[in-house]
Amino acid sequence: MRVLISVDMEGIAGVVDRADIAPGSPEWALAREWMTDEASAAVRGVLAFDQDAEVLVCDAHAKYRNILPQRLDRRARLVRGTPRPQDMLTGIDSAVDAVCLIGYHGRAGTAESVLAHTISGAVISSVRIDGTTLGEIGLSAALAAHYGAVPVLVSGDDTVAAEAEDVAPGIRAVVVKWARGGHAAENLHPAVASERIEQAVPEALAARASVRPPRFAGPVDLEVDVRRPEMTERALLIPGMERRGPSTLGFSGLGLPESYGLVGVIADLAGIP
């Protein structure tokens, strides 16, 4: 068995504020430890299910240099650094059997959800594939399913659990904190959060046949709403990119993996001052 573990930071137990996730801040230094420990818990869970499994951990926050390599379970391999293909799910291919999404957050616009956004909170307000609005949970689940991998588990706050069940019915959710607003939560102790993830992963892998992830066949239609009309200008220099509204960009005809990658390109281009 080959399992990819994608690890974001906003959904980690204890993380509630932008200072917690901003590289270089004292709070971020602590959050890196919590993030690494939750990743290691997921690794242990995979290997408890299949001691011969190959486990790839993908650092999926900011510039993808947050997980502490020396603190991560030594039996996993770590993907870190950027730029890279497939962004938050680098390493996904037809050889991957299952995907775990650790420390994920709600999509942009989710009320009372801790640090909710989609790809770039400063730039993007919505992403749609074939008319379906997807956040990072949905985009990652859809990309995994495209390659035949099952998104079996997600961890984060209680709004994450609700979103995950909506986009991928049957996925196992581990709630490590309960949102009390966009920058507040009732958190499990980090050690307890890790314990719950470790316990849930084998159960999620055993029940992977019951998950129904989003699937998009063939070329898809991508729409991205940015925060302000002027943010569309650089992205419109891409051949084939369309303006579909004052702040809406559209692109048709690409496959899901290419469209997934294009969202990141739009976020980068639109964010240039």
pLDDT, one tens digit per residue, over 98-141 is 999 999 999 999 999 999 999 999 999 999 999 999 999 999 99
Over the stretch 16-25, which tens digit does the pLDDT of each residue have?
A: 999 999 999 9
With H, G, I as helix, E, B as strand and everything else as coil, classify residue 2.
Answer: strand
Q: CA-to-CA distance for 75 and 53, rounded, in angstroms? A: 10
Q: What is the pLDDT of residues 32-56, one digit of tens each?
A: 999 999 999 999 999 999 999 999 9
- As a 3-state breakdown, the chain gives helix, strand, coil percent values, each rounded to 5, of 35, 25, 40
Amino acid at 75: R
Quick one: 201 exposed, middle or buried, by C-beta within 10 A (0-12, 13-18, 19+)?
A: buried
